[in-house]
C-alpha cells in the first residue's frame, strides 16, 4: 500500500487475505495451483456445507467461512458488507435496527446522518436470501425506523 493510507482500507485488505487463506486451507491440495497432484480432502471437513450453517431466509449461512448457500447447496456470492449485515441481524434477532445503527454495525464506521445506501444494500441482500424479495419475510422494513430480522421459530 502507498502512504498515506486509511487504516480501514488496511484492515479490509488484511481481512480479505485472511478470508482467501482460510478458503484455500479448506480446499484439497489438488485444488490449489501450487501442486498439480491429486490429494484427498481433509477428513475433518464436513461432508456438506450445511453441517455448520445457520438458517438465514431461504439460504444457509456459514459465518465462520463467510459463505452463503442456496437451498440446493450451491454457493451464493455475497459481498463483505452483506456478510456484515447478516451478522448484525443474527446478533440482534427480532429487534428493530435503525439505518444508522446498521451502518455502524456493518460498516464499522460512522457515516453521514442521512446516508440511505443501507436501503440498497438491504434490497440486494433480500434478492439473495428471500423467496419473494418484493414480499420479504426475513428482513422486514419498519417504515420510518429501519429494519428487523425475523428469526425463524
Q: What is the pLDDT of residues 67-87, one digit of tens each?
A: 999 988 889 999 988 999 999
Residue 57: inside a domain: no
CA dihedral (64, 53, 60, 25) in degrees, to 10, reads 40
| 3-class secondary structure, 130 | coil
Give the pLDDT score at 93.
Answer: 92
Report DSSP letters for 40-86, one per residue: PPPTTS-SSGGGG-EEETTEEEETTTTEEE-TTSPEEP--HHHHHHH
- Is residue 143 included in any domain, yes or no? yes
Inside any domain, residue 111: yes
- CATH number of the domain residue 153 falls in: 1.10.10.10
pLDDT band, very low/low/confident/very high, at 19 (cuts 50, 70, 90): confident
45-58 pLDDT per residue, tens = 443 444 457 888 89
CA–CA separation, 129 and 59 (whole Å): 6
Establish if 1 belongs to a structural domain. Answer: no
Residue 146: domain span: 79-153
Instruction: Report yes or no on 119 lying in a domain.
Output: yes
127 domain residue, yes or no: yes
Global pTM value: 0.63
Residue 89 in any domain: the answer is yes
Q: How many domains does the chain have?
A: 1
Amino acid at each position: 500500500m502507498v502512504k498515506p493510507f486509511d487504516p480501514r482500507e488496511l484492515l479490509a485488505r488484511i481481512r480479505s487475505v485472511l478470508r482467501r487463506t482460510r478458503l484455500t486451507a479448506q480446499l484439497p491440495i489438488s485444488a490449489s495451483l501450487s501442486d498439480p497432484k491429486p490429494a484427498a480432502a481433509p477428513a475433518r471437513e464436513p461432508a456438506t456445507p450445511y453441517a455448520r450453517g445457520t438458517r438465514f431466509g431461504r439460504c444457509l449461512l456459514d459465518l465462520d467461512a463467510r459463505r452463503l448457500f442456496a437451498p440446493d447447496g450451491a454457493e451464493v456470492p455475497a459481498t463483505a458488507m452483506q456478510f456484515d449485515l447478516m451478522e448484525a441481524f443474527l446478533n440482534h434477532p427480532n429487534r428493530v435496527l435503525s439505518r444508522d445503527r446498521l451502518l455502524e454495525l456493518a460498516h464499522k464506521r460512522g457515516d453521514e446522518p442521512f446516508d440511505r445506501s443501507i436501503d440498497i444494500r438491504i434490497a440486494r441482500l433480500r434478492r439473495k436470501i428471500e423467496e419473494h424479495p418484493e414480499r420479504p419475510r426475513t428482513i422486514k422494513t419498519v417504515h420510518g425506523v429501519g429494519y428487523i430480522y425475523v428469526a425463524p421459530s
